[in-house]
Amino acid sequence: MRTRSFFYIITGILLLLWSKQPVLARLLPNADCPTITNTETTTVAVCTGQPVTALRVNTTATTYKIEFVRFDAPQTNPYLSKEGIHLGEIIPDNGVAVQQFVDFPANTGQTDKIYYVYACLKPMPDDPACQPFALITVTVRPEPTATTSALGLACLNNGRAQLTGGSTIDNSTYAWSGPGIDATNQNEQNPVVSGAGTYSLIVTANGCISEPVAVTVLEDAQRPTVQLRSVNLLSCPTAVVPLSATIASFGASYTYQLTGNDPVSGVSSTSLSLPVSETGTYTLSVTALNGCTTSQTATVQQVTYSFAPSSFTLTAREPLCGPGGSAPTGQIGIVGFDPDWTYELSLTGQFTGRSTPMPADGILLGGMRSKGNPQTYTVRVYNETGCYSVKSTRLIHERCPCPAPKCLPIMITKVK
């Protein structure tokens, strides 16, 4: 009885071991199975677009080929996966299998791309216990792209230009070439140069070199032209003389600064007329967009004051009333004036400084009807030197009486 039970136990153990044969086969060494092992090189790195010079493994296989298969992710057993990309197969020579000049997909990103290449037996052995392989990790690095820009040679930077370099890959190194590049600045990212011409930049990242990118530096040191003119005298305590400046700044706008006893500054894109009311020397400095500045000086001198015009008299004529109401007969006039004088008339007492030549007939404002309310008229009269006097006159603008009523005959007809 015991013998029979022991037989059943032994039989069960043997059947269990038989069912686990593939697993045990992988665990137990197989003296007839070739080996595939790595050489001293287990990782390879190349720049995108460049082939891997050689994938190399050691092997004891003599009747098998060695197949190299590429995967995007690590594999537990590359023999069991159908997602690999065939790279080639080699007949071993003296225990070494070498696949030469292997291309990998281009890396168009900005970070490294890692591939997993497995060396396997080809054809795959029937024995599941004989599936040797070796892994080689291949890193395909992206090619950096250089970017460049440059300002022109300008007074803004003391006649020098700023080159700006960039790369699509962080921590790149820079190599500039061009007329203003030497050993002191060729490896700067943003060098400053003093020569016009074409500059070229190559960047390197992780051993991968970009294509050269060129940028042109133009000469931009042209200074604005300034012509400053003045009547050069102040002839009256109330006078203001204009400093007239004609400016060409070779740009959309420029900044200006007038220094002297009556300073002013601002931004403009046209010629200037700068009023000053103080004597002295004035310097106008104009700075263009490129930073170049031009200055010119003018002097405003004081001469003996001329007297303001005072011999004139304002006349006022009230609008007349007629049978139909007010007639357009009211006027403001001036007598005793000089034909070279000018005037400005105001109903509010405020003046703009823009005067009008004297009318030959002396009528400053005519053809007025009665407004029904009094109105003051103030006149500023300028002589040829810019001095002026102010006088006022007043119109009553009396209301005209309503027209007298008229009697009209009315005919009444009786209708039967």
- Identify the band that residue 252 occupies on the pLDDT scale cut at 50, 70 and 90: low
Top-confidence residue, 416 or 325: 325
* Residues 77 and 38 both lie in one domain: yes
Whether 229 and 292 share a structural domain: yes
Q: Which positions ≥6 away from 377 have C-beta within 8 Å?
A: 314, 316, 332, 345, 346, 347, 365, 392, 393, 394, 395
Predicted local confidence at residue 18, as pLDDT: 44
**Can you say how many angstroms the Cα of residue 345 is from the centroid of all Cα atoms in its chain?**
51
Q: Please tell me whether residues 152 and 186 are part of one structural domain.
A: yes
Statement to judge: residues 232 and 190 lie in one domain: no
Is 383 in contact with 338 (CB distance < 8 Å)? yes
Does position 24 have pLDDT exceeding 50, yes or no?
A: no
* Domains: count for the chain: 4
Please check whether residue 404 lies inside any domain of the structure.
no
More confident site: 189 or 154? 189
Asked if pLDDT for residue 178 goes beyond 90, the answer is yes
More confident residue, 406 or 118: 118
Of the three residues 118, 141, 164, the one that is the final residue of a domain is: 141
The per-residue pLDDT for range 180-226, each reduced to its tens digit, is 899 999 999 999 888 888 999 999 999 999 999 999 887 766 778 88
- Percent of the chain past pLDDT 90, that is, above it, reads 51
CATH of the domain at 320: 2.60.40
Q: What is the pLDDT of residue 117?
A: 98
Domain span at 317: 313-395
Question: What integer is the mean pLDDT of 232-249?
Answer: 66
For residues 249 and 320, membership in a common domain is answered with: no
Shared domain check, 210 and 287? no
Q: Are residues 252 and 179 in the same domain?
A: no
What pLDDT does 48 receive? 95
Position 17 scores a pLDDT of 47
Supply the pLDDT for residue 22: 45
pLDDT of 235 over the 70 cut = no
CB 303 within 8 A of CB 241: no
Residue 347 lies in a domain: yes
| 128: CATH | 2.60.40.10
Question: Is residue 174 pLDDT above 50, yes or no?
Answer: yes
The stretch 378-403 carries a mean pLDDT of 86
| Residues 169 and 210 placed together within one structural domain of the fold | yes
Using the 8-state DSSP alphabet, how is residue 33 labeled?
S
The answer to the question of residue 264 being in a domain is yes
Average pLDDT for 349-359: 88
> Residue 231 belongs to a domain with what CATH number?
2.60.40.2470
Q: What percent of the chain has pLDDT over 70?
A: 84
CA atoms of 170 and 141, how far apart (whole Å): 13
- Mean pLDDT of the residues in the chain: 84
- The per-residue pLDDT for 44 is 97
Residue 155: inside a domain: yes
Q: What is the pLDDT of residues 289-321, one digit of tens each?
A: 777 888 888 887 766 556 678 889 999 999 998
User: Is residue 21 included in any domain, yes or no?
Assistant: no
pLDDT on residue 408: 65
Whether 87 and 45 map to the same domain: the answer is: yes
Q: Is the model more confident about 270 or about 68? A: 68
pLDDT at 157: 65
Task: Tell me which of 10-24, 130-144, 145-159 is least confident.
Answer: 10-24
How far is it, in rounded angstroms, from Cα 229 to Cα 234? 14
